[in-house]
Amino acid sequence: VRLVESGGGLVQAGRSLTLSCTASGIAFSIYDMAWYRQSPGKQRELVATITSGGNSKYAASVEGRFAILRDNTKKELYLQMNSLQPEDTAVYYCNALIVTVSQIQYSYWGQGTQVTVSS
């Protein structure tokens, strides 16, 4: 199983950036997917989730600015980030999650991509 994030970088406040996560080795379409982020000295936090059925949820801090999307054909997950602020600076991680009928949880992580927002 491999999740590879891309698209991070340095951007000015107020600008936009789109992250991508390419999955391999999993049946992507049946996994719930999510973006997390972690800033220095802080715990990893959930940014957005999208279920296998396409339902999405967002952290309050990014609601209305970020959009999580998935392309099951390409096995890709996206995070469109608009109106970026310095507090959005973090390493962003892609996560794939599935819970079997036997309640066994499988969770996979990417290596992360750095997003830095300058003021």
Contact 117, 88 (CB under 8 A): yes
Instruction: Write the pLDDT tens digit of every residue in 73-94.
Output: 999 999 999 999 999 999 999 9
Residue recorded with tokens 């830095």: 116
Produce one character per residue of 82-106: b if its CB has 16 or more CB atoms within 10 Å, e if not.
eebeeebbbbbbbbbbeeeeeeeee
- Residues ≥6 apart with Cβ < 8 Å to 14: 83, 84
pLDDT-derived band at 99, boundaries 50, 70, 90? very high
